[in-house]
Chain A
C-alpha cells in the first residue's frame, strides 16, 4: 500500500492571515513553511483511532422527550481520497452550534441560549463506501466577538483522518443559499471560487423519505487537485 501525495494547491486553500480576524497574524508562522521529501513517516498514519477514542454515533438531534430545538436535518457525507476513491473505516469528528447559534463550550458568549438536549458533537466511522449519515439540527449563525459585523454563517466543523498523516483534514461545511456565506471571513479566505464551492453542501430535493427532515449531501476530498479546503 503506497500513497503518493501531491503538494496542496495554495489557491484552493485559505490564506493563513485573514484581514479582520485578529488572531491570525499572531498564530500563523512568519517563516515560509518548509517543503520536505515525503517519507514513510508522513505516508503512514493512524488507522485505528476508533480504538483510542470513543465513537459516539450519528444521531445528535435526540429522540422523544430529549429532542433538540431547530430544523431537523440529515447530513449525508462521502469521504474520498486524492484519487476519488472512497475512504472507508475512517474516524470523522464533527461539532456545531445549536439551532440558536450557541456552542456547548464554556467559553462561548451568551448571545443565545444553550439547548439542554443538544451537545453538538459526534464522532463516527465511515462505511465501506466512505459514507456516513448524521441526524442533527441546522446550526444557527453566530456573531463573532470582533463586534464589527462579522457573523459566522451556519456551518458544521469536521475533523478527518484518512489513511496517512498527510491526509489529516480539519474543515467546515456550509449551507447553500445562506446570505452570510458571501461575507464570512473564513469561507472567503479561500481565493479559488471553485474550491470555495466545495465547502458548501447541497440540498437534496425533499421527498417522502425522510418525511420529517431536510437532507443535505456533501463530499469531502482529503487531498489532491479537488481537495476540500482546510478550514480551522
Chain B
C-alpha cells in the first residue's frame, strides 16, 4: 500500500487552515445570502479508486442573480452584499466533501455553474474544473469533448442536494481545464 500524500512529502495545507464554516456560502458574517440554498457533496478519487483525504477544494461562483462579487462584472454594485461567492473545504477520511451554497444565476453566454479548484500533494499544479446543473448551452462546456460533458453535470440528490464526484485520473476522469 502506497502511503498517503501527507505521509509522503509532508502535508499540504496545515489542519487549521480550513476554517470552520468556510464551506458554507449561504452565511456571510452572520447574515443569510439571498436565493435558493443548495448542498453539493462529492467524493474525490485517484486512479486506483482510493479516496483522497485532506484534499483542499475551493469554489467560486455568482450570486443568485448571476452577479460576480468582483469589479470585472459590470453589475457588481448590485451583487448580494451577503454572498462572498468563494468557499473552501477539505475532504474527510472517505474522500467526501460538502459545500452549502446558493444556486448561482446564469450570466451572458454561460449556463449556471460553479468553478472548482483542487489542491493536493502529488498534484504538481492546481487542477480546475467546472460543475454544471443541467446540460445547457455554455461556451466552456462546449469546449469539452461531447463524450465527456456529462462528467461535469452534477447529479440531483434529495430535494436541495447535488452530487459532484471528482475523479482525478482514470475511468470517468473529470475534465480539467488548461488555464
Interfacial residues, chain A to chain B (CB-CB below 8 A): 1-3, 5, 7-8, 13-18, 21-49, 51-54, 93, 95, 97, 103-109, 119-121, 123, 142, 144-146, 152, 159, 164-166, 168-170, 186, 189, 230-232
Contact = CB atoms under 8 A, between A and B. Distances in A.
Interface in B1-45: 2-17, 19, 22, 28-29
A34 B5 contact: no
B135 interface: no
30 contacts: A2-B72, A3-B72, A5-B179, A7-B178, A7-B179, A8-B179, A14-B125, A27-B46, A28-B122, A29-B176, A30-B170, A31-B173, A32-B178, A33-B176, A33-B177, A34-B175, A34-B178, A39-B110, A40-B72, A42-B179, A44-B68, A45-B86, A47-B70, A51-B29, A53-B19, A93-B17, A95-B13, A107-B4, A232-B122, A232-B126
B117 interface: yes
A97 B10 CA distance: 8
Contact of B113 (A41, A43, A109, A166): A41
Contacts of B119: 159, 170, 232
Interface of A is mostly: loop
Interface of B: 2-17, 19, 22, 28-29, 46-48, 50, 52, 58, 60, 62, 68-73, 84-88, 107-110, 113, 115, 117, 119-128, 130, 139-140, 143-145, 148, 168-170, 173-179
A107 B4 CA distance: 9
Contacts of B145: 34
Given A3-B72, A53-B19, A53-B22, A37 B125 contact: no
Contacts of A109: 7
Nearest to A30: B169
A230 B126 contact: yes
A107 B60 contact: no
Given A27-B123, A41-B130, 5 more contacts: A29-B174, A40-B108, A53-B88, A93-B17, A145-B3
A224 B170 CA distance: 31
A225 B126 CA distance: 18
A7 B125 CA distance: 14
B86 A52 contact: yes
